[in-house]
Structure 1
Amino acid sequence: MKNPVIVVGSGVAGLRAAIELLNNGFEVLLFSKREINYCNTDKAQGGIAVVLNESDSFEKHIEDTLKAGAGLCRRESVEVLVKEGPERVKELIEWGANFDKDKEGRLDFTKEAAHSVNRILHALGDATGHEIERTLIERLKRFDNVKLLENRTVARLLTKDNRAIGVLAFNTKEQKYETYFAKAVILATGGYAAIYKNTTNPEITTGDGIAAAFLSGAELEDMEFVQFHPTALKRYNAPQFLISESMRGEGAILVNDKGERFMEKYHRLKELAPRDVVARSIIFEMRERSIDKVYLDATKMGVEFLKKRFPTIYNECLKYGLDITKEAIPVAPAAHYTMGGIKSDIDGRTNIYGLFVAGETACNGVHGANRLASNSMLEGLVFGKRAADSAMEFAKDAEIERIDVDLSNIRRCNRQFLKKRIADLRETVFKKLGVVRRISEMEEILECSWALFLKQDGLYYCEEGIILRNISLLASAIAYSGISRKGSVGAHYCVDTPHAYENKEHITINIGKLQDEL
């Protein structure tokens, strides 16, 4: 390809951006860390929030989003999300997305926590993300001016005079580095929830694009806001698995080890409180009772309803000897979604020329301190297209530039040693930067993670080296931002400042600031 635009990431935001570029005649290099459909989008269960129901309105959706964001949403971003959302979803339906319908053949809308009306579309019961990913991949295949580069981990963003000109990627199949240059770069690599030991995300979600851009001078914002899903499967013989918020929306209740309902002690909305409140309430209940899990009881919904509405959850639990139609599901909070990321405007522009961001990689203020359930899919669609529009505007007058990339000092790897270090660090991150935080623990992990980053910074002949660098760097950014917050708000809850809500500023950092202060 002579004049490509690079898109890194093959989830909803990356695919929607790529399709927009392709539809306008641009050449696209599309990168995926694993196979194209192995991503957060494909695993998403809950649904997509959109104003298409007659009882709904833009203002209701906007207000619900602002309320969940705890005063830190940017209203302009929220209005773009909500008002452009219906067109993006209709477009998706035209491309073949099969959302569930009621008996009359109309779109079937459900309700989730913190939504005031039924506005959640779902597909195949609880496989909405898989259906959206399938639809976008099928659309992508209609174009021949796209080159798919699977099994590539972005190691560095290549820049010249504060302009993004390409990426350095590690080919995990061939164990070698590759350089790619382009007219513009769009990062849609997802968030960083998998830097935590307990997470609902695929293990690949380690904030690679965010870390690479940060090291190249991009500003990060609101990194302390990490959303923990209240209900991830907690069973000795099973991997962590998301138990959708839709279950609570449909009437499932939380009980402790004695079978007692407890959410009413913590919030008037009980199980339908914002998910940061529910996650903290579960932690407090577990600590009070010295237990490591609580239970989500959906048995009163009925066998047929559960099998039809939640087939993925039903079948996955059944693999591990758990019949959710007969017994409550053991659950505990796990890192799920990251509101922080690369600072951008509503058009995906960053402080680096030619670098555009979308989806969970970006922080444009649409989620504030706490994302409203099922807004993430809509965000990927809306802002994926917007980032592509901005990239096209930039690329039409841009020339491809190249630089020499020094690959002479790449370090050899002890992969088993690095894997152990990664596992240890992820466990520490979960303990000290989890649902409930303390200033002293954030200071401890900031000191150790930054020291590890300084030791780890460089290139390695293995993916583990890149991942360990990224986890240590992003843990430092989360801890620094959390300490700087000086109060608890939304998904950031510090026991030392539990009621200090006066700080409603966004915490913006860059690599130079960290280097100077640490």
Structure 2
Amino acid sequence: MIKTYDVLILGSGAAGQSLALRLADHMRVALVTKRTLDDSASAWAQGGIAAVLDATDSIEDHIRDTFVAGAGLCNEQATRHVVERGRQAIEWLIDRGVPFTREDSSPTGYHLTREGGHSHRRIIHAADATGAAVQRTLTDLVREHPDIDVFERHIALDLVTATKLGHRERGCLGAYVLDIDSGHVVTIGARNTVLATGGAGKVYLYTTNPDVATGDGIAMAWRAGCRVGNMEFVQFHPTCLYHPRAKSFLITEAVRGEGGILRLSDGTRFMPAHDERAELAPRDVVARAIDFEMKKRGLDCVYLDISHKSADWLHEHFPNILARCLELGIDLSKEPIPVVPAAHYTCGGVVTDLTARTDLPGLYCIGESAYTGLHGANRLASNSLLECVVFAEAAARDILASRRAAPGPLPVWDESRVTDADEEVVISHNWDELRRFMWDYVGIVRTTKRLQRAQHRIRLLSREIHDYYSNFRVGNDLIELRNLVVTADLIVRCALRRRESRGLHYSRDYPDTLPRARPTILRPR
């Protein structure tokens, strides 16, 4: 089956849906998502969106905070581009109906909170479930729009490029997309294709990300000949709920922003010994401090204590966290929350410019799968949803202005030389092995020897997965595993190139920070 659209968007988080809504009044749009429209990392975001909304704050302060968190590696042009458009992005979301938490006494009319690394209260939020509120609002609008065709339970296998079809000119012509339920592959041609597939947290054993975060867009762009950058900078969120029944449940940064204290099991506060900003230090500092204390003392977890706040206050500010913890027998108003660091955000990705263009004509990338230069060596809290909305607008403007020609006839997916898999247990075993050695060897603290061990394992897995992919019919798990292995390889290759410690990348072999900050850019051969 072959379908054709003006724009093909792969991914249905805040970035993908924002772009679809900006384009759909002018173009026919296809929106492809692996599960349902509301199943994305964006929907899991708790804290909020950073933007300069209060008169006591300033653009320069937000830029400065972003640079400090990013350990000097943020791209100045990209950072200014995003921060200066913060208010406009928030106003666009408010106009769409996002129910941000109001506060009548505030000059802005909204409650603004503060998170680690921020010098002001500038985080606008919807209680403690901002991402879910944004996602629900956008999803309802997308479903209602007559010119957005939604393909749920569909996953992209690979991009269709002019080069692969033997054409002289380079360009992206669409993608091959698997209908997960039927097992059939659909060819979707498009004037413009957009990767909005999110990050790659599932490459690690412990993550705050949903199961769909498997680095699909990054891997597809790399195979299509695009550069990737700064993949060594994987942000580990300091506070993921530690409980056997709490899968990937994040305890938002705002808990520390509102006075939460990190303690050892005996009640001792430890962050002031690691950084003068204590609990309000950037995430990389806090995650390393927790990792240090756990390893030094042989602890399974540490504790985040906000029990000095009343139950009513906690219900008002963190209703979802309070309810989830109560389900597990933890009362935030009386006892601390057991927490551990977990892989949270991919700061690197596909290299783009300020219009979200990649190296391949007709291919754009927005959201967590993109490397814009905003996040540097460590993402400042709540800059991610902001980046999604700002670059969705930038991509929309460029796509509407470009008016690329429609692709010519495209070939259907060829399954004539493959058979059904005989032992799918191979996929689950490889998936488990990959995530475990990435956690052990490419985690919060790294060494060259550990990275080389991981690289050796990745090469063995890559060959095995390539053989499997070449000989058997594809399924969702195989596609995701194939992409995860590519993404893991990119992370390790970038990490081996960086011979210093900076931001989220800490190496025992290279503990010092070099005087000049340079991004790590990989180019396909």
For Structure 1 versus Structure 2, the TM-score category normalised by the shorter chain is over 0.9
Q: Which moved more, 1:379-388 or 1:130-139?
A: 130-139
Structure 1 residue aligned with 2:189, among 176, 181, 186? 181
Q: Specify the SS of the correspondent of 1:67.
A: helix
2:452 aligned partner: 443
Q: Specify the SS of the correspondent of 1:511.
A: coil
Per-residue deviation, residues 331-354 of structure 1 (Å, max 9, x unmatched): 000000001100001110111010
- 1:466 is aligned to 2:486: no
Structure 1 residue aligned with 2:461, among 421, 429, 452? 452
Post-superposition offset of 1:510: 3.0
Structure 2 residue aligned with 1:376, among 368, 371, 384? 384
Per-residue deviation, residues 191-231 of structure 1 (Å, max 9, x unmatched): 11111110000011001111111111111111101000000
1:221 aligned partner: 229
- 1:115 is aligned to 2:118: yes
Q: Partners in 2 of 1:72 and 1:402 — Cα distance?
A: 43
Tell me, yes or no, if the aligned pair for 1:153 and 1:169 is still in contact at 8 Å: yes
Q: Partners in 2 of 1:334 and 1:5 — Cα distance?
A: 35
1:516 aligned partner: none
Structure 1 residue aligned with 2:493, among 462, 473, 480? 480
Tell me, yes or no, if the aligned pair for 1:193 and 1:335 is still in contact at 8 Å: yes
Post-superposition offset of 1:499: 1.0
Q: Partners in 2 of 1:92 and 1:238 — Cα distance?
A: 31
1:409 aligned partner: 417
Q: Partners in 2 of 1:357 and 1:69 — Cα distance?
A: 21
Structure 2 residue aligned with 1:490, among 474, 499, 503? 503
Scaled by the length of structure 2, the TM-score of the pair is: 0.94
2:271 aligned partner: 263
Q: Specify the SS of the correspondent of 2:330.
A: coil
1:341 aligned partner: 349
Identity %: 38
Q: Which amino acid aligns with 1:36?
A: L
Post-superposition offset of 1:139: 2.6
Tell me, yes or no, if the aligned pair for 1:230 and 1:279 is still in contact at 8 Å: yes
Q: Partners in 1 of 2:185 and 2:343 — Cα distance?
A: 31
Structure 2 residue aligned with 1:10, among 9, 12, 17? 12
Tell me, yes or no, if the aligned pair for 1:348 and 1:358 is still in contact at 8 Å: yes
Post-superposition offset of 1:142: 4.2
Q: Which amino acid aligns with 1:22?
A: A
Q: Partners in 1 of 2:460 and 2:72 — Cα distance?
A: 34
Q: Partners in 2 of 1:253 and 1:280 — Cα distance?
A: 16
- 1:327 is aligned to 2:340: no
1:37 aligned partner: 38
Post-superposition offset of 1:242: 0.2
1:358 aligned partner: 366
Q: Partners in 2 of 1:424 and 1:316 — Cα distance?
A: 30
Structure 2 residue aligned with 1:193, among 171, 178, 201? 201
- 1:65 is aligned to 2:74: no
Post-superposition offset of 1:134: 1.5
1:400 aligned partner: 407
Q: Can you give the 5+ residue segments of structure 2 that lack an aligned partner in the other structure?
A: 164-169
Q: Specify the SS of the correspondent of 1:223.
A: coil
Tell me, yes or no, if the aligned pair for 2:362 and 2:404 is still in contact at 8 Å: no
Q: Partners in 1 of 2:44 and 2:373 — Cα distance?
A: 24
Q: Partners in 1 of 2:74 and 2:80 — Cα distance?
A: 10
Post-superposition offset of 1:411: 5.2
Post-superposition offset of 1:136: 1.4
- 1:278 is aligned to 2:286: yes
**Is the alpha carbon distance of 1:406 and 1:498 closer, same or farther for their aligned partners in structure 2, counting shifts above 3 Å?**
same
Tell me, yes or no, if the aligned pair for 1:13 and 1:381 is still in contact at 8 Å: yes
**Is the alpha carbon distance of 1:67 and 1:409 closer, same or farther for their aligned partners in structure 2, counting shifts above 3 Å?**
farther
1:515 aligned partner: none
Tell me, yes or no, if the aligned pair for 2:290 and 2:302 is still in contact at 8 Å: yes
Post-superposition offset of 1:452: 1.3
Tell me, yes or no, if the aligned pair for 2:430 and 2:461 is still in contact at 8 Å: no
Tell me, yes or no, if the aligned pair for 1:254 and 1:271 is still in contact at 8 Å: yes
Structure 1 residue aligned with 2:150, among 148, 151, 161? 148
Tell me, yes or no, if the aligned pair for 1:22 and 1:146 is still in contact at 8 Å: yes
Q: How does 1:21-170 map to 2 (within 5 A)?
A: 21-23=23-25, 25-104=26-105, 106-123=109-126, 125-161=127-163, 162-170=170-178
Per-residue deviation, residues 85-144 of structure 1 (Å, max 9, x unmatched): 211211111111111112437111110001000000110x10101111122123324421
Post-superposition offset of 1:401: 2.6
Q: Can you give the 5+ residue segments of structure 1 that lack an aligned partner in the other structure?
A: 513-518
Q: Specify the SS of the correspondent of 2:345.
A: strand
Per-residue deviation, residues 271-322 of structure 1 (Å, max 9, x unmatched): 1001000000000001111112100011011211111111111111112111
Q: Which moved more, 1:361-370 or 1:234-243?
A: 234-243
Tell me, yes or no, if the aligned pair for 1:153 and 1:208 is still in contact at 8 Å: no
Post-superposition offset of 1:173: 1.4
Post-superposition offset of 1:265: 1.2
Q: How does 1:286-305 map to 2 (within 5 A)?
A: 286-305=294-313
Q: Partners in 1 of 2:178 and 2:455 — Cα distance?
A: 28
How many residue pairs were aligned? 509
2:167 aligned partner: none
Q: Which amino acid aligns with 1:233?
A: L
Q: Which moved more, 1:280-289 or 1:233-242?
A: 233-242
- 1:235 is aligned to 2:238: no
1:431 aligned partner: 440
Q: Partners in 2 of 1:397 and 1:423 — Cα distance?
A: 42
Q: Specify the SS of the correspondent of 1:182.
A: strand
Tell me, yes or no, if the aligned pair for 2:202 and 2:209 is still in contact at 8 Å: yes
**Is the alpha carbon distance of 1:503 and 1:423 closer, same or farther for their aligned partners in structure 2, counting shifts above 3 Å?**
farther
Tell me, yes or no, if the aligned pair for 1:299 and 1:324 is still in contact at 8 Å: yes
**Is the alpha carbon distance of 1:410 and 1:204 closer, same or farther for their aligned partners in structure 2, counting shifts above 3 Å?**
farther
Tell me, yes or no, if the aligned pair for 1:191 and 1:338 is still in contact at 8 Å: yes
Tell me, yes or no, if the aligned pair for 1:221 and 1:343 is still in contact at 8 Å: yes
Q: Partners in 2 of 1:385 and 1:184 — Cα distance?
A: 15
Q: Partners in 2 of 1:511 and 1:30 — Cα distance?
A: 28
Q: Partners in 2 of 1:373 and 1:402 — Cα distance?
A: 45
Q: Which amino acid aligns with 1:31?
A: V
Post-superposition offset of 1:170: 1.7
Post-superposition offset of 1:416: 3.2
Q: Which amino acid aligns with 1:221?
A: G
Q: Which moved more, 1:77-86 or 1:103-112?
A: 103-112
Tell me, yes or no, if the aligned pair for 2:6 and 2:406 is still in contact at 8 Å: no
Per-residue deviation, residues 45-87 of structure 1 (Å, max 9, x unmatched): 0000011112111111111111111111111111111111211
Q: Which moved more, 1:373-382 or 1:236-245?
A: 236-245
**Is the alpha carbon distance of 1:303 and 1:3 closer, same or farther for their aligned partners in structure 2, counting shifts above 3 Å?**
closer
Scaled by the length of structure 1, the TM-score of the pair is: 0.96
Q: Which moved more, 1:383-392 or 1:455-464?
A: 455-464
Q: Which moved more, 1:1-10 or 1:56-65?
A: 1-10
